[in-house]
Amino acid sequence: MTQQIPMFIDGQAVISTSSDWLDVTNPATQEVINQVPFATAAEVDQAVASAKKAFETWKDVPVTQRARMMLRYQHLLKKHHDEIAEILAEETGKNFEDAKGDVWRGIEVAEHAANIPTLMMGETVENVANKVDTYSLIQPLGVCTGITPFNFPAMIPLWMFPMAVVCGNTFVLKPSEQDPNTPMRLAELFYEAGFPKDTLQVVHGGKDQVDQLLNHPDIEAISFVGSVPVGEHIYRTGTQNLKRVQAFAGAKNHMVVMPDANKQQVVNNIAGSACGAAGQRCMAISVAVLVGESREWLDEIKGKMTEMKPGYWKNKESFYGPQISPQAKQNVENMIKQGVEEGATLLLDGRGHTVEGYPNGNWVGPTLFSDVTVDMDIYKKEIFGPVLCVMTADTLEEAIELINNNPYGNGTSIFTSSGAAARKFQHEIKVGQVGINIPIPVPLPFFSFTGWRKSFYGDQHAYGKQAVRFYTETKTVTSRWFESDIPDDTGPNATINL
């Protein structure tokens, strides 16, 4: 019998009573790993109720104790780093280096969360009026929830629940049903670190379970990472229910290549950032904008991309793995077909790609289009596969205008040896995360992940200081004490209460 994945409710692993289960498969082989439930409405309600009850005591645990628990947690994550990466690689298909990077970037957020005492410090002004002082207190919200995607099953949950819980909240995690084993292992280690077992609940499911959380009266804040239509739905539904929401949505990331850039660095970085993780990351470079004479480098880019071989995660020569599902593979191949029909020049065709020994894998080979225009769907839509669209511009100003007219604003980069060009680009570009001679500018956790425009719905971003503001509320106290209330007893029998 196929093993059934439990949920974590009321501090213990429980097998769902649901009759609706989904096979979790290895995307390189289609072999069933185990099965994940779609939780019943009663189970979701039970998880939220447990988290709500836990909040009443957890919010009063001293912040230093919460920080020490997080220190133990990040230690356990490091100790089990490779084990988690193997689980992740098996259910996502990522090569082992990508899988380890997924885990490590999550660990960095847990490290940052351990600094919570200084991050939750308020502000004080003495004597705002005569003998009147004002100070602010940073306090948790209550029950928070996270809805995470398949493409980073370690990193993105770790963006969310460590920051939320260490701020004094409790958390209900609804991970992707396509690769739930990785977040379940994260939760097991979380409990092992000594956190009270009902501070983190894990429920599984799909749209119905998400909608139940969005509409639940006891959920205070919602964090989501995924696609544009779902992100819009999450944001609208959550905010209509007067909840705090951060929803990270789609992307179409451009790399601008100036003719004074280092050609070999450009070629290596374009190919790697377009094909890495099978293109299944919201910060992948999916559009290269070749400015001026750099458009002559197209043959070198094509040659480098042909070296980006997909394969099974245990093969060290595999640069990237399969698409997460047969449906995802079909979506990418349909977009490639549409690009040809729209008139783009297909220089590399990844359709029908095979990997020896793994005939059933969801493989898509490196794909390269040139002569792409802004009216084509392959430019307007996020393909989420190893597909690079090449466009050209005569000037930096033209490239900046092109990017600023795109509805997305997640990430962008420029490769140049000119400081003036780099500064002009970073100043004028309307994108939240900018790389200068760096293809994928994901900030470290003491900053925040700051997508703009249609790539993000909300006010406060993930991790960093903005995450603390997202998961807390500010209470401002104004106080005055009268000198007439000072006790007169200053004799030898007087006591001081501390």
- Spell out the alpha helix ranges (H) of 120-224: 155-166, 181-192, 207-214
Distance in angstroms (rounded) separating the CA atoms of residues 210 and 123: 37
Distance in angstroms (rounded) separating the CA atoms of residues 36 and 203: 10
DSSP 3-state of 445 = coil
DSSP 3-state of 162 = helix
Q: Considering only CA atoms, which of 250, 492, 356, 252 is closest in space to residue 28? A: 356
Distance in angstroms (rounded) separating the CA atoms of residues 479 and 498: 19
In sequence order, what are the residues at sequence separation of 6 or more whose Cβ sits closer than 8 angstroms to the Cβ of residue 9? 43, 46, 47, 50, 201, 202, 203
Q: What angle do CA 112, 442, 321 make, to 5 degrees?
A: 110
Distance in angstroms (rounded) separating the CA atoms of residues 336 and 383: 9
| Biggest alpha carbon–alpha carbon distance for the chain | 95
Pair of tokens at residue 110: 């847990």
Distance in angstroms (rounded) separating the CA atoms of residues 446 and 465: 7
Residue 240 to residues 107, 156, 237, 244, 468, Cα–Cα distance (Å)? 33, 25, 5, 10, 23
Q: Chain-centre distance of CA 232, in angstroms? A: 16
- CB distance 374 to 381 below 8 Å: no
Regarding beta strands 143-147 and 219-225, do their DSSP bridges make them parallel or antiparallel, or are they unpaired?
parallel
Instruction: List, by residue number, the catalytic residues.
Output: 282
